[in-house]
Structure 1
């Protein structure tokens, strides 16, 4: 993770604030408080799903915070060539040079790679795989590309990336498809197609013909078509399972959430914990990373996982509430636009 450079005096001052009683932070937050989170879905009209998320942005001009843009795009791929039966997910994280002006191009590439690996390995796990990415069994499937762009980093970038990714996947619609089989019309031995010659040779009796494209009683589908071009499609399966990340910053013996850039520079050790909360099931730890220098004992790590689950659940509930509000807002906006036609 990229961080700003601070002096030893600043580092000591920030660390002393965490260990004071009560703990003190420069912006007045408690140790476990998040900055304000702003979320908007449907920001990329040509994407199958999209979201823009910011943490700690200035309420007046919208600047000064961590800002991430996420978008999904579905494309058809052949299973026999390079695809995967049932579909697959590919994640990519790109960092704007304006977000990290202090980094060289090589360092920026390394940072993008690290973020991409963590996100892709987590979201492409079989336990999270959607069931509606298949089109034709063993022939065609959907490739879901999830692209993340980091526009600004004012701290806590991993939590922002996972929240934006979850919002974009929540917003994703999969086009409805229908299998198609092409049948060649069968003619008689005389080469007459679509007709039958009588025994006397002076009369043709038309036989029942069917369309070359028959979408009923498919026995061996060879291709597919979209059922409704005007319909955005169905919701991506498993929207409640997509995980959320919590970064625990660890100034011993305590921890805090949602670090700013100076706080990240003052605290070198972080635990990145990713949780999913499937409906009617116990929570799952989808990923865990220790970032920075330092060591954690097994006992401490076990306690952090338990604490992280509590914070992640609170964030999960708040994010779900905001996503449902966005669905209502966009549906209302669509109805108003339709009524004006």
Structure 2
């Protein structure tokens, strides 16, 4: 179906009534709980430390690429609240979602920006707490920059595909091995005693050397042991605990279905987004829509969502362990700045 922003009343009624039948009917023949096939490739962005591309629904479907770069920044790793923010966050993890110009040709730029902000917020609130800090020296650390690019949205189900792309890119992430390098230098009198009462020496960590009484500047740096495409993967328990998103699309007859097509999503605008870790814990949830649900039904939906997530994680892990999933040399075509 060609992308549209709205459905006619008759189209919506037909889709909802078909899904609500005792034997539900979907246009592609799936059952309510079936996902469409997806393809997954890792190592698609040559200059990234980790990357992945996920295509849902075959050629012309929903396609999202995620690239992760590790930047060395001169500030300590912290888990507290950032200054000026009321939301607890990780200043060493920054997530961003962008839309290509062809992904949403039917939406105006403001709507596309709003969607990008919404998806970025979902990632920023869910992914950082599950990632380990990557310190290098007491004052330096690797900081995660996670960039996702939506290339196409024709098959719908953006959120599930986005989290699958991010999870796969983090599986592919290689952290460069580093070696600490210490140095010390004896400060000459003009660099120490005559330096504004020793300000330069203090800045360099100058101390009195017990052997000669001279001021000695000591410091620490690091050097990278690997080439750009080498390094250590994140710990296995970290990679396998990364979350997926399961979107439960709710019908008025208290049933739900998975992996909504674009038309199904428009016809059934009430969704429960569950973010579930590999250990089966609920990392977050979002309820979207104007319909209401009881507490008991919500509990049942959460338990069902955890079961669906476990199956998704198991299937994804098998794909990620398959050597054919890795793209030799990276996939350059159509990635824009991801491939540079």
> What band does the TM-score fall into relative to the shorter chain?
0.7 to 0.9
2:71 to 65, 72, 75: 75
Alignment partner, residue 104 of structure 1 = 108
Please state how far the C-alpha of 1:3 moved relative to its aligned partner: 6.5
For structure 2, list consecutive stretches of 5 or more residues without a partner in the other structure.
80-89, 189-217, 330-340
Q: Is the 8 A contact 1:3 1:265 kept in 2?
A: no
Distance (Å, rounded) in 2 between the aligned partners of 1:27 and 1:245: 22
Distance 1:230 1:157 in 2: 31
The superposition leaves residues 220-251 of structure 1 with CA deviations (integer Å, 9 ceiling, x where unpaired) of 76211112337611002311111001000001
Which residue of the partner structure matches residue 304 of structure 2? 307
| SS of structure 1 residue aligned to 2:319 | helix
Contact 2:41 2:325 in 1 (8 A): no
Structure 1 partner of 2:196: none
Aligned to 1:129: 131
Q: Which residue of 1 aligns with 2:99?
A: 95
Which of 1 and 2 has greater Rg? 1
* Structure 1 residues 76 and 186, CA gap change in structure 2 (3 angstroms): closer
2:231 corresponds to 1:233: yes
Comparing 230-239 and 286-295, the one that deviates more? 230-239
Q: Does 1:294 align with 2:296?
A: no
Of structures 1 and 2, the one scoring higher in RCO (CA 8 A, sep 6+) is: 2
1:319 alignment partner, SS class: helix
Asked if the contact 1:162–1:245 (Cα under 8 Å) also holds between the matched residues in 2, the reply is: yes
Deviation at 1:56, TM superposition (A): 0.5
User: For the structure 1 residues 324 and 107, does the alpha-carbon distance in structure 2 shift closer, same or farther, using more than 3 Å as the test?
Assistant: same
Uncovered stretches (5+) of structure 1, i.e. residues with no partner: 188-219, 335-341
1:198 maps to what in 2? none
Q: Deviations over 1:47-71 (max 9, x none)?
A: 10111101101xxxx22x1110111
- Deviation of the 1:10 alpha carbon: 0.9
5 Å-filtered alignment, 1:25-104, equals 25-57=26-58, 62-63=59-60, 65-79=61-75, 84=78, 88-104=92-108
* Cα contact 1:4–1:262 (8 A) shared by 2: no
**Count of residues paired in the alignment:** 284
Moved over 3 A (4+): 83-87, 228-231, 327-331
Corresponding residue for residue 315 of structure 2? 318
Distance in 2 of aligned mates of 1:87 and 1:158: 23
Q: Deviations along 1:188-220, whole A, 9 cap, x unmatched?
A: xxxxxxxxxxxxxxxxxxxxxxxxxxxxxxxx7
Q: Secondary structure at 2:260's aligned position in 1? A: coil
In structure 1, what is the Cα distance between the partners aligned to 2:219 and 2:289? 53
CA shift for structure 1 position 321: 0.4
- Residue 21 of structure 1 deviates from its aligned partner by 1.9
- Alpha carbons of structure 1 residues 230 and 273: separation in structure 2 relative to 1, 3 Å: closer
Alignment of 1:1-341 (within 5 A): 4-57=5-58, 62-63=59-60, 65-79=61-75, 84=78, 88-125=92-129, 128-131=130-133, 133-137=134-138, 139-153=139-153, 154-184=155-185, 222-229=220-227, 232-237=230-235, 238-252=238-252, 253-278=254-279, 283-325=280-322, 327=323, 330=326
- TM-score, length of structure 1 as denominator length: 0.78
Distance 1:330 1:129 in 2: 22
SS of residue in 1 equivalent to 2:317: helix
Deviation, structure 1 residue 4 = 3.0
Q: Equivalent residue for 1:201?
A: none
Counterpart contact for 1:44–1:50, Cα < 8 Å: yes
Distance 1:78 1:303, change over 3 A: same
